[in-house]
Amino acid sequence: MPTEYGNRLVLGISSRALFDLSDSHRVFEEQGLAAYSDYQIANEEQILEPGDSFELVKKLLSINALVEDGHAIEVILLSRNSADTGLRVFNSIQHYGLDITRAAFAGGESPYRYMSPFGCHLFLSTDAQDVQLVLESGFAAATIMPSAKGGGVGSQLRFAFDGDAVLFSDEAEKVYQAQGLEAFTKTEKQSARQPLTDGPFKSFLAALHRLQSEFPADDCPIRTALVTARSAPAHERVVRTLRAWGIRIDESLFLGGLSKGEFLKAYGADVFFDDQQGHCESASEHVPTGHVPHGIANK
């Protein structure tokens, strides 16, 4: 991470994840880039409605008011727009009072290559191709799905994560996919004291943990949960892996294959990340959800 960012948490977000650009995107798909540019310029004074990640970003930025220097969180716009067509987006950012001042407008190309220079920990987008490019570059990323607008408990920001192929590698999931539940359970029990290798969201979780450590444990504005289909005895390896990483998870739900949606709603997740499309579709009926196209389930 660039030294000027210090230890702050940095989120990269696309225009369409932050705002509802469905009308202008329809113009792009039906009439092409030139018509899209004309439409955005003609409507640049018209404020955009919030998108699926708007409330998450708003909550994230509100944490800055709780720290002494006011710079715990940085949100950066990473957009396929040009600066000209992106003027409407910045007008909307200013209208809603969001403290977003940095941006990369990639002029029709994927902005994934700016993740590293900006020191981003996570990228959220509605473009699955951009998300895949970011993941392949070694950063956490998720495709934001049309989701329930609920979630969240008061002002506290609540993240929820699946385990295998998200926080952890897909090494255990590969055994399950190839040999079934019995072999998976046997292997995980035998490997209980061998930490799982890193998944794409490990570094983001570590950054969250560092930020949480700046606050008293009983008065922290961020809460995390592991929500996994695992059950005992396969839970032990997960617990020991997090312990080996030195990372605290506030809540752990080992559901043994139960549907996750109702549990995520009860937890009050502001966003949930999972690698399996089916789980994401189910969860999105209850809470905001991001699909992580990583691992054997997405091959």
127 labelled catalytic: no
β-pairing, 157-161 vs 140-144, is unpaired
Residue with structure tokens 């192929």? 165
Distance, CA of 284 to CA of 271 (rounded, Å)? 9
Contact present, 1 and 119 (Cβ < 8 Å): yes
Pair of tokens at residue 200: 């794409």
User: Where do the H-state alpha helices sit in 7-81?
Assistant: 15-18, 22-31, 33-42, 54-62
Active-site residue identified among 52, 162, 164, 274: 162
Pair of tokens at residue 177: 């996919």
- Nearest CA-CA partner of 133 in 118, 115, 121: 115
Instruction: Judge if the upstream peptide bond of residue 233 is cis by omega within 30 degrees of 0.
Output: yes
Report helix, strand or coil for 202: helix
Contact present, 121 and 9 (Cβ < 8 Å): yes
Residue 218, Cβ neighbours under 10 Å: how many?
5
Pair of tokens at residue 116: 């590293």
Tell me the one-letter amino acid at 170.
D
Distance, CA of 96 to CA of 286 (rounded, Å)? 26
What is the Cα 95 distance to its own chain's centre?
Answer: 24
Contact present, 272 and 290 (Cβ < 8 Å): yes
β-pairing, 140-144 vs 122-125, is parallel
Just list the catalytic residues.
162
